[in-house]
Chain A
Amino acid sequence: MRAVCDRTARIGRDAILALVTLRNERVRLPYFLQYYRQMGIDHFLIVDNGSDDGSREYLAAQDDVSLWSTNASYRRARFGMDWITRLQRLHCHGHWCLTVDVDEFFIYPFCDTRPIRALTDWLDVCAIRSFSAMLLDMYPKGPLGAQTYREGQDPFEIAQWFDSGNYMIRRNAEDGNLWIQGGPRARLFFPDDPKRAPALNKIPLVRWHRDYAYLSSTHMLLPRGLNNVFDEWGGEKACGVLLHAKFLDSFAVKADEEMLRRQHYGNSREYRAYHEGLSREPDLWCKWSEKYLNWRQLEILGLMSKGNWA
């Protein structure tokens, strides 16, 4: 991994950071950066894994981005986590860090009226170090290819829908975290093999310490206490959601490509399932799909919670 442009000297003492690994996401980048800048992210630390679509050049030109580049194997770098962990150790100690993918959009309570610093300040006051946000798969109505995503566009103008109440949760005794599966991917791509349905539990926002590490993607952390983002006595802790803009027209292309690259988790089993599913031109939408409005809707549906933040 080598630095393409290292602007980390500009990171202020209280800066809130975002960490991203990506490959060939040029069309998504403008909206992604705009979304998180508006939320109050001060600096982006990005690892580019061999893009050849202009992503690297675009990112290098952004003032609030520090960019590294590598052509090494995504899979052998623990699906990019090794790269991220290194950047976190070097640059994130003491900072609030949001680790996301380019297609993940963080939603937290009051995100329409309060910047992310209001949240992190509150978490500091409450001595909370980690904040969970479940991945919520968003999808359009009709075949994925029917609407084309344009650069700069809000992806949720297209992928407006989600599954509101089919999530399966169990406790992972070993690491003390919850394992959440479900949503349209389980419903459509894994109805006969639910065990293989992708995990949706994520803990993307952490007040970083150089001794911390993500274990498997952002699903789990060490030390284990950081996974303790849920209440066991009936109460609700504050938490958010990562809106997942995976299912756009570009998805079919991506699924084909990843099938060949085999760089994803479980030998790209997931992509294989999509690939097979996609060749049937599926519509992820069903009549019980919920149309996205705002965070309050997600709160009422029980997908996230304000906890005691008021």
Chain B
Amino acid sequence: MGVGFIMLCHTAFDRAAQVARHWAERGCPVVIHVDARVHRHGFARMQRLVAGVPGIRFSDRHRCQWGSWGLVAATLSAAEVMLRDFPQVNHVYLASGSCLPLRPVPELVRYLADRPRTDFIESVTTEDVGWTVGGLDIERFTLRFPFSWRRNRKLFDASVRLQRRLGYSRRIPDGLVPHLGSQWWCLTRQTLQAILEDPRRAEFDRYFRSVWIPDESYFQTLVRLHSHHVESRSLTLSKFDFQGKPHLFYDDHLQLLRRSDCFVARKIWPQAGRLYRSFLSDKLAEKSPAEPNPARIDRLFSKATERRTRGRAGLYMQSRFPRDDWDHGRTAAPYSVFAGFSDLFENFEPWLGKLVGTRVHGHLFAPDRAQFAGGETVYDGALSDSAALRDYNPRSFLTNLIWNTRGERQCFQFGPADVQDILPFIAADPHAQVSVVSGAWAVPLYRSGGDFTTIRREAARLQKLETWYLSVLRAGWAKARVRVWTMADFVADPMEPMQTIIDEITPRALRRPAEAPRLVDLTGFGRFLQQLRNQGMQPVLMGDFPLEDEPLAPPRRARPAGTK
């Protein structure tokens, strides 16, 4: 009963030798294969580093390019040496020079001794794998690959396309069902011997020579012919990133690796001295015969992949700058834009803030400065209220504000008197909840009581701007949640629409406004609109306002809460 290791090496010989000696000195024979591409000095060095340790052999050298047959050939040669020279070996463990044992050797020996007939090899049919490099699964077995994927990607892709178009397909040898899986396995002597001594081996070898990445399919497929008990998983913890490159382990992974209870991990960064010292130490406490549990490490790496591929929504920074048409998370969180409300209500901002439990801004895009809540001149993230800075890059201003205040709903006022450049961005943002009382901008004009010619000109300007931004908000491409009321409709029953908006902001809160916000005194507003008309301007966005005040006078208090 015993386990022997095949070790495929091509670099970092100090570390490979360190691990080989570790195993061999603890009674596990090791057969080392050194890539034929390694210079003879390197090979000699490796031999020197393990010299004098009984139980270490070297096997015939093959050229091991990534994804080439050489890796399989190397493994086969080494396996022959192992089975020939070490009759006590019952399980053969395939490892690489950058593998590191995480548990004491006796634990692995015992674990395998308890499962003497089990072959540990990830072996999955092509229909069931979702991780293949280049998107090829069954085609690895049916096409030919004359060009290197790494060095001649264009030719590689072209040849695949051509074969697809021509409908070319190789015949898979009878009796083989293509399987794929991690190349790091641990097979029983019986199974390995059966594979090596298979009467059809020459045929299989010829076939797999031109399969793409045969080291992920040769043993994984053939084991299905010969094994009595396949446990389809690898005992080696080895994770690949989204580009198919193996993740590396560093000193700061020590605790994570310890808790994983895996037997072997790869790849270890050669200079992770602390990992090598810790895991190759005989002081490593033997634990209960726990099953490997790489869940935490899986999570760490899948989070890393997600960070790289999806990133953090709403974040714009030096290494994440989504294109303009990228709609998944233009901003980090939902926010609310109110147009016209603060013109109609005297205390709208504090009232809303109290109700929703957040700081409510004034007009963030006012021409003179960003009116942050509480009159702040600098806000979260050291965002300045300077209009010039804001208008220099309004999109950065808004996305920064939403990012900086993650966790706190942002609400701000907007209107035709504001700088408008940001509006198309807001309109296209699914996070924006935009509520507009159209025509309400006329109220402050009406109340200003200045020179009427100026007022008339300003009214015409604001109406034009509001017409424009309403058309933007209603555009086919707009993704914001937009609600528009004419001022006349809104004033007739303000609390109904307010409730809808607030329910959307705080869906779970059962809070109902204890008191309504104070509507400004609109006595004479109808007459004001008529006056504009008399001066030749046509105010249309307010809706139908009665000329005289009778229907509205005295100005109605909004309906109190809960009386829907």
Contact = CB atoms under 8 A, between A and B. Distances in A.
Interface stretch (A19-27, A83-91, A285-293): A285-293
Contacts of B241: 308
A231 B319 contact: yes
Given A187-B382, A234-B326, A165 B403 contact: yes
A230 B311 CA distance: 11
B458 to A, nearest CB: 26
B389 A234 contact: no
A47 B303 CA distance: 43
A193 B386 CA distance: 10
Given A167-B317, A305-B317, A234 B322 contact: yes
Interface in B366-398: 378-384, 386, 388-389, 392-393, 396-397
A169 B381 contact: no
B242 A121 contact: no
Nearest to B321: A230
B389 A187 contact: yes
A121 B329 CA distance: 33
Nearest to B241: A308
A304 B311 CA distance: 12
B152 interface: no
Contact of A286 (B245, B315, B378): B378
B302 to A, nearest CB: 9
Contacts of A171: 321
A168 B392 contact: yes
Interface string A21-52: 00000000000000000000000000000000
A110 B250 CA distance: 10
A258 to B, nearest CB: 24
Given A110-B252, A117-B271, A235-B308, A310 B322 contact: no
Contacts of A237: 308, 319-320
B320 A236 contact: yes
Contact of A304 (B271, B318, B389): B318
Interface string A160-201: 000111111111000000101010101100111111000001
Interface in B290-326: 300-301, 303-305, 307-313, 315-323, 326
Nearest to B297: A310
B269 A187 contact: no
A309 interface: yes
A164 B404 contact: yes
A194 B309 contact: no
B245 A288 contact: no
B307 A165 contact: no
Contacts of B326: 232-234
Interface in B142-169: none
Interface residues of A, number: 60
A125 interface: yes
Contacts of B389: 166, 168, 186-187, 190-191, 194
Contacts, number: 182
A183 B186 CA distance: 56
Contacts of B301: 310
A184 B381 CA distance: 11
Nearest to B328: A234
B252 A229 contact: no
A100 interface: no
Contact of B252 (A113, A117, A233): A113
B226 interface: no
Given A114-B252, A125-B248, A230 B320 contact: yes
Contacts of A236: 307-308, 311-312, 315, 317, 319-320
Contact of A231 (B320, B386, B393): B320
Nearest to B383: A166
Residue among A191, A239, A287 with max Cβ neighbours from chain B (10 Å):
A191
A235 B311 contact: yes
B243 interface: yes
B247 interface: yes
Nearest to B396: A168
A166 B384 contact: yes
A142 to B, nearest CB: 16
Nearest to B249: A310
A9 interface: no
A222 interface: no
Contacts of B388: 191-194
Given A118-B269, A165-B383, A234-B329, A308 B308 contact: yes
B60 interface: no
Nearest to A241: B318
B75 interface: no
A195 B392 contact: yes
B382 A122 contact: no
Given A126-B245, A165-B382, A239-B317, 9 more contacts: A110-B250, A132-B318, A163-B382, A233-B322, A234-B326, A236-B319, A302-B317, A306-B307, A310-B300
Interface of A: 110, 113-115, 117-118, 121-122, 125-126, 132-134, 163-171, 178, 180, 182, 184, 186-187, 190-195, 201, 229-239, 286-290, 302-310
12 contacts: A113-B250, A114-B252, A117-B271, A134-B317, A166-B381, A167-B317, A194-B389, A230-B319, A234-B310, A235-B311, A237-B308, A288-B379
